[in-house]
Structure 1
Amino acid sequence: MSHRIALSFEDGVTRFVEAREGETIADAAYRQGINIPLDCRDGACGICKCRVESGRHDGGDYIEDALTEAEAAEGFALACQARPRTDLVVAIPTTSAACKTRPQDFTVALRGVERLSETSLAFSLEAPAGLAFLPGQYVSLRVPGSDQRRAYSFSSAPGAEALSFLVRDIPQGLMSTWLRDQAKPGAAMEFSGPSGSFYLRAVTRPLLFLAGGTGLAPFLSMLGKLAAEGCDQPVHLVYGVTNDSDLVAVEALEDCAARLDGFSFTTVVAAEASGHPRKGYVTAHIAPEHLHGGDVDVYLCGPPAMVDAVRGWLAAQGVMPASFHFEKFSPSGPADAARLAA
């Protein structure tokens, strides 16, 4: 039986490889043209140390100097020794270029554009053969007719029939203008990816999702995966926007709540003039029970100011989440400057 390994590099690039029965992570990658740094191949030097973020593996044979018992307990492994027992997500502590690989390039057809509100659009692309991604990741999409690129997170779950994305409709935005005024079904769209270190890890404790504006997109992808596979932990999403017109895809969240036991969500609008029943910022609507006394994995995607505000608020509450994953985005920035994840 073969297993799929997602190799996540520190520059955000993710590549997927297939491991044959009994094959190590390093050998599977090398066979498919990806050179994970290593030296001894005997579990002695530790150069190929990586972190298994999801899935089960056999750690193999190695000495304490290469990998300590404490490191192994935290999920670290040696790529030259570890053999997958299930599909894996593995964080490789170097760049994709250092491993002689790069993002994949695809050209696909536009399926359509949907107006969600006066400030938001959604568009969908044909899903190309050979594309795999982790829920929460994004692609770098070339704006047709230009050499400019924009980064958009998948709102569709892995394995969906089509790739879908949410876009804020910026009046003078390059991609917004093309989608609004020129896009036609069947138009060729070029993108590279997947990329990003903001993705759903193995779920072992309660989850708190915090979304700002079109930062909802990666959470729709994550929730789609959780709904399809099931989840035995509670999941709560707080979705905040500036104005009533920015609040979109609520029906998709309601559908997720119907399909996924233990999922709940709260919507919030910041504008004073809003008629929404819950106003203010996201932090005002995080209840103590959502933090589980710190035994929670927090995922946050939104503008830089929101990310900084949430981090400050958590510190003020004296809460240190078990893990905190965030992605800052700039709605109109080019792809190489639009994402910063940790």
Structure 2
Amino acid sequence: MHYRIALNFEDGVTRFIDCNAGEKVLDAAYRNKVNLPMDCADGVCGACKCRAEAGAYDLGEDYIDDALTEEEARAGLVLTCQMVPSSDCAIAVPVTSTACKTGASTFKATVAQVLPHADAALELKLEVAGDAPDFLPGQYVNIAVPGSGQSRAYSFSSKPGSHALSFLIKRVPGGLMSRYLDSASPGQVLELTGPLGSFYLRQVKRPVLMLAGGTGLAPFLSMLAWLEDSGSDHPVHLVYGVTRGADLVLVPELQRLADRLPFFSFDTCVVQAESGHPRIGYVTEHLLPEALHQGAVDVYLCGPPAMVDAVRNHFAQIKVEPAGFYYEKFTPNATAGTVQELAA
């Protein structure tokens, strides 16, 4: 038996390693040729201290308080030289991937289909031969645009562990990726680099509020697909906001999920009054108090920079501080991930 351990480095790179039953994470990392920070490897110095963000594990008792206090352990900090996983885990490593002599992976995928959503968005569907790429629900990859020498960053909208990958891409008039996808043919091969990003679904320990703007819906589709398989003991609510009615895409997919998952619900809203949508206005105008759970909620937010700033300001104004607040800003032509995270 072995467990999959996601090592998330501070430069946004994620590396997955296998950890055998009874094996310590530090030993497993070295066996996988990842040099995690360490000094004594005996639970004395604290140099290997990281943060466990998902999964079950045992720290044993063979470390001293100066290396890891009880308060730190309760807050999710771990010593990788002592941590023995009993499930798949995600660990935040407070150094860059290059400092650990590793980096992002590159793999190839074949274009299966490009589905247009009028002038709002494009769905890119890819197939991967061989091993399915590892990623955490919510993460992104850089996709090289053939013949351009440039890459664009897009979040997975598909669930982890699948050979079928999907991405929801904003249609940008004259945009590099939009132009390519308008003429892309099935069978063409693309090069992807990743997974990347610190915006991903943590272990669900309390209610979850998801806030999506435009094609910022993509990472939430991946999270919900993962939750469809794993389930949740806590309510998950999504508010999906767009500028025009035509920008609302994949709502039938959200409805399918809401019909199947007893813990999931969603609302949509449109800024333009002339759209005739039943909920007019910005996402911040449709955050019901019951969805905020008086702050006992994990908030995940993905949208344009103005939306992210507006939501943060809104929380400050209503004096609500979420237990967890994770966000990703994006721009349509992002050449590298513009991921930013705030954990409250």
For the aligned pair, the TM-score class normalised by the smaller chain equals over 0.9
2:157 is aligned to 155
- The CA distance in 1 between the partners of 2:95 and 2:294, in whole Å, is 34
Residue in structure 1 matched with residue 14 of structure 2 by the alignment = 14
Matching residue of 1:268: 269
In the aligned structure 2, how far is the partner of 1:341 from the partner of 1:45? 28
Q: In 2, distance between residues paired with 1:56 and 1:10?
A: 22
Is the contact between residue 125 and residue 164 of structure 2 (CA under 8 Å) also seen in structure 1? yes
Q: How far apart, CA to CA, are the structure 2 residues paired with 1:126 and 1:62?
A: 46
**Deviations for 1:288-331, whole angstroms, at most 9, x for unmatched residues?**
00000100000000000000000000111110100100000011
Gap change, CA 1:251 and 1:238, over 3 Å in 2:
same
AA aligned to 2:224 is: L
Aligned equivalents of 1:260, 1:35: Cα separation in 2: 41
Partner of 1:208: 209
- TM-score computed with the length of structure 2 as normaliser: 0.97
- Cα deviation, 1:159-203, whole Å, max 9, x if unaligned, reads 2340000011111100001101x2000001001000000000000
Distance 1:130 1:138 in 2: 15
Give, in whole Å, the separation in 2 of the partners of 1:214 and 1:117.
13
5+ long unaligned stretches in structure 2: none
- Report the number of matched residues: 340
| Counterpart residue type for residue 263 of structure 1 | F
In 2, the alpha carbon distance for the partners of 1:83 and 1:58 equals 5
Q: Does 1:304 align with 2:305?
A: yes
1:131 matched residue in structure 2: 133
What is the Cα deviation at residue 340 of structure 1? 3.2
Q: Check the 8 A contact 1:117/1:248 in 2, yes or no.
A: no
Q: Structure 2 matches for 1:73-92, cutoff 5 A?
A: 73-92=74-93
Structure 1 counterpart of 2:97, one-letter code: S
Deviations 1:67-102 (A, max 9, x none): 000000111110111110111111111110101001
Q: Does 1:177 align with 2:190?
A: no
Aligned-pair CA distance for 1:127:
2.9
Q: Assess if the C-alpha contact under 8 Å between 1:113 and 1:123 holds in 2.
A: yes
Deviation at 1:119, TM superposition (A): 1.5
Corresponding residue for 1:141? 143
**Cα RMSD between the aligned structures?**
1.0
Would you say the 8 A contact 1:330–1:339 is kept in 2? no
SS at match of 1:309: helix
Match for 2:119: what amino acid? E
Contact 1:119-1:168 at 8 Å conserved across structures: yes
Match of 2:103 in 1: 102
SS in structure 1 at match of 2:15: strand
Equivalences for residues 13-32 of structure 1 within 5 A: 13-32=13-32
Q: CA deviation at 1:246?
A: 0.7
Partner of 1:51: helix, strand, or coil?
A: strand
Question: How far is 1:228 from its partner?
Answer: 1.1
Q: Which position in structure 2 is the counterpart of 1:167? A: 169
Correspondence for 1:285: 286
**Structure 1 gap ranges (5+):** none
- 2:240 partner letter: Y
> What TM-score, normalized by structure 1, do the two folds share?
0.98
Contact 2:143 2:154 in 1 (8 A): yes
Distance 2:120 2:65 in 1: 56
Q: Is the 8 A contact 1:167 1:214 kept in 2?
A: yes
Deviates more, 1:50-59 or 1:116-125: 116-125
Secondary structure, aligned partner of 2:275:
coil
> 1:54 aligns to what?
54
For residue 335 of structure 1, what is the aligned residue in structure 2?
336
Q: Which runs of 4+ in 1 moved over 4 A?
A: none
